[in-house]
Each structure stands twice: as structure tokens, then as C-alpha cells.
Amino acid sequence: MEKFKLGFIGAGFIARFQAKALQSVRDAELAGVYALKGAQELSALAKKLGVGECRVYKSVKELCKNVDAVAIFVPNYARVEIMGKIADAVKEGAELKGIICEKPLGRTVKEAMELVKIARSTGLPNAYFENQLHMKAIRAQKEQLRPVEEKMGPIALARSSEEHSGPHEGWFWDPTRQGGGVLCDMGCHSIACCWYVLTPYGKPVNYLKPIAVSAEVGLLKWGLPKWREELLKRMGVDYSKTPAEDFATGIVTFKNPKTGQIVKGQFTNSWMYDKQGLRLMMDGLGPGYAFEFNSQFSSLQVFIGDEAAEAVADAESALEKSTATRGLLIVEPNEPDLYGYVDELTDAVNSFRKGKDGFLTFEYGLEITKLCQAAYMSAEQKRVIDLTDKNTQKELENYVSLIAQGRGKEVLPII
């Protein structure tokens, strides 16, 4: 079988992670990249990993003409523009088989709606990349608990959290470019995971209907670590003037359209987790059964003493967002597989080969964006957002949080 040619638009952190994931995807290769910076480095990495020759192209149009599908891995603020260029390339004859977009689909509901509109105008299959719904542990618990769920009933309470010490790149810390803070960055993961875990086995991912959202956000009171201050200074980001939330928590209430059962999904996210590194925690509680997952329960640990620590070149080779080079450290041998990147790429490639959308579509990404923005609205207005109200749905279409407007100092409590 001829290899499926993927093209990456963007060459930052997530693109590098996805390149590593491609090592475990059959019959696919990274054939090309277009990026304003980092393209040559990503090309070299692809060749080193053996996942493709990854030719560097000078435009989105040229990339689209030479690959089977493109993946949008650019910063949030550039997504609509890039999607427009992909659509133009298709109109001019690029024979793409599919389009991928990394989470979040949009910084606002309006942006997400525009991306859906442009994508559908191309007539091409699409895939929204939300890796945590592809995690083997999350899929495995659904399979294992299927007969129990059929007898006792579905999970009624799901909890999902993602925490680490903060993003690497400066634009993430600028809420006017990123779309907010940790809620926009990682809340989309946790909300999606809760929705999926609560969904009865075999039902579509949007089967349960979101009916209400309540949330709170906050700002770390003891200031930024020195490494973070230096990063932001280099990036020209003045976080003291336009802060974003680095802690968010809330509850999304869902209703089963057939039985009327009300279920709850609780999400918690922070850039305040200065421990070993990235931590994902999910659990679900049903009548007489439960599951629990913690990404830091690894079968491999290492110890590095003070004298030996100078020899450690890259702490993140052991664990994403690792902040330590000594002591007892967690090692995740295959993070791209653990976090679901391998499986979401495999799904996209296999789906596009068949002319079908991926497991998650841009329309699903739009719904996640709505829930994230409803959470911002709840925290800002200090009330529960009723998603069954038509006026609220209309308000969300044009809503831009004060944090995303750069006015975070007006609404962020110090915690």
C-alpha cells in the first residue's frame, strides 16, 4: 500500500510531538511542512525519526498540492487565515483527501463557526484533533465496563483534570492571541473527556445534551517562576498588564435525551503544577462500579542525585513539561502513545483513505468551543449558564471573554 502523505502547517511543539507519534502509524509519512519558523528543524527531525522526507514548502498552496492531507498546527490566532488558504488551494486544484485541525478549533464560538463553514465549503472530510478521547486507557475502560454499564446503568459523574507548570511559547501567555488562559488551552481537553466518559457505550460523542455550565477561574498569587518570567520577557509578553487565568474548574451538566437522566462532568486545569511534569487524571463513578486513571503512575522511575544532575541535557525527554533534573523522576517511555496522539493520527489516516470524516469532526470541535466559552461566561458573570436558553446560545456566538480582550485584571481573583 502506498504511504499516505501528511503535510503539517506549523512546526512548533505539537507538530514535533505528532511527528514522534507517526513512528507508530502504519502506511503514513510526514511528506511536507509549511511554517513561518522551525520548518527546517521539523524536517530534520522527521528524517531522523524515519517518518518521511518532509520537504519544506514556501506556501500553504504548494504544500496542499503535494500531500494527501494537511494538519493545522499553527497558533490559535492564525487558524482562520490558514483554513482560508487551504480552501483556496483546493479551489485551485489541490487534490486533498482530508483536513485536520488541532484543538481548540477556535478562540471564540464565532471563529469556530467560521472554521466549520470554510472546511465544509471544500467538500473534504475533516478531523478535529482531541487526543485524550483516543487514549488507550480511556477506550479500554469503556470496553471493560460495557457489560457492567448495560446492567447497572451509565457513569453519572466524570472528573477530568490536566495540570502542568505552563506552556513553552510566549503566545500561549498572551490571552488576546491565545483566546484566554489555561481554560482555553487545556479545559477543552478535560471537558471533552468528561463528555466522552459519561456517554453511554455505542452512542455518538454528542449524544448527551449539555444543558448547563458553571465555572470559576483564578490567578496564581505568588507570581511566576523565574524561568517563566524570562520566557515571557524574551517573547515580549507583559503578563502583569494582560494576565490570563492559570487555574480553572467547573461543572458541565448533561442530559440523556432518551432517559432524561442528568449527569455531571467536573473539569480542573492549571498551569500551577510545579511537580514532576504533566499530570492527567480522569475518573468515572457509576452505580456499583468506577474507574480511575493517573498518567503519573508509570512503571518506570529513575533517581538522579545532585552531582549527576549536571549531566541531564533535557528533562523533558522523560516527561512532558518536566521541571526537575534530579531526585525521584517519573519516566513515560512512549508519551505520544500514552496521550492518544498515535491513535488519533491512525484514525484520521484510515478515515481519509475511505473518504470519511475522522472520529471527531470540526462540528464537534465547535461544540467544545461553546462549552469552554460558556465556562468563561459563567466565571465572568458569576452565574450558572443555561445552555437550553436560545438567547444564551445567541449571546455565545458573539461572546469574547474579558480575559481574551486583555482585560483579565478586571475579573481575575487572586487565589
Q: What does the buried/exposed string (b/e) look like for 271-283 if buried means 16 or more CB atoms within 10 Å of the residue's CB?
A: bbbebbbbbbbbb
Asked if residue 414 is part of any domain, the answer here is no
Residue 235 sits in the same domain as residue 280 = yes
pTM of the model as a whole: 0.92
Residue 41 sits in the same domain as residue 102 = yes
Cβ pair 70, 126 in contact under 8 A: no
Asked if residue 309 is part of any domain, the answer here is yes
Grid coordinates representing 305 are 542525585
Cβ pair 348, 127 in contact under 8 A: yes
**If DSSP states are collapsed to H, E and C, what string results for 86-117?**
HHHHHHCCCCCCEEEEECCCCCCHHHHHHHHH
Q: How far apart are CA 165 and CA 272, in angstroms?
A: 5
pLDDT tens for each residue of 292-301: 999 988 777 7
Count of structural domains, the chain: 2
Cβ pair 71, 6 in contact under 8 A: yes
**pLDDT score, position 320:** 53
According to DSSP, the residues that pair with 302 across neighbouring strands are 329
Q: Provide the 10 A C-beta neighbour count for residue 1.
A: 6
Residue 172 sits in the same domain as residue 313 = yes
Q: How confident is the model at residue 222 (pLDDT cuts 50, 70, 90)?
A: low
Residue 329 sits in the same domain as residue 347 = no
Q: What value does the mean pLDDT take over residues 26-48?
A: 97
Residue 108 sits in the same domain as residue 147 = no
Residue 201 sits in the same domain as residue 272 = yes
Asked if residue 81 is part of any domain, the answer here is yes
Element (H, E) at 209: strand 209-218
Residue 158 sits in the same domain as residue 104 = no
The alpha carbon dihedral of 79, 84, 85, 90 has a sign of: positive
Q: How far apart are CA 69 and CA 99, in angstroms?
A: 6
Using CB atoms within 10 Å of the CB of residue 161, give its burial: 0 to 12 exposed, 13 to 18 middle, 19+ buried.
buried
Q: What does the buried/exposed string (b/e) look like for 226-240 if buried means 16 or more CB atoms within 10 Å of the residue's CB?
A: eebeebbeeeebebe
According to DSSP, the residues that pair with 99 across neighbouring strands are 70, 126
Q: Which CATH number goes with the domain that contains 89?
A: 3.40.50.720
- Domain extent at residue 145: 133-335+369-409
> For the chain, what percent of residues have pLDDT higher than 90?
78
pLDDT tens for each residue of 13-33: 999 999 999 999 999 999 999
Rg (CA), the chain: 21
Using CB atoms within 10 Å of the CB of residue 266, give its burial: 0 to 12 exposed, 13 to 18 middle, 19+ buried.
middle
Using CB atoms within 10 Å of the CB of residue 336, give its burial: 0 to 12 exposed, 13 to 18 middle, 19+ buried.
buried
Residue 200 sits in the same domain as residue 330 = yes
Residue 124 sits in the same domain as residue 148 = no
Q: What value does the mean pLDDT take over residues 147-167?
A: 94
Residue 165 sits in the same domain as residue 284 = yes
pLDDT tens for each residue of 326-342: 666 777 788 899 999 99
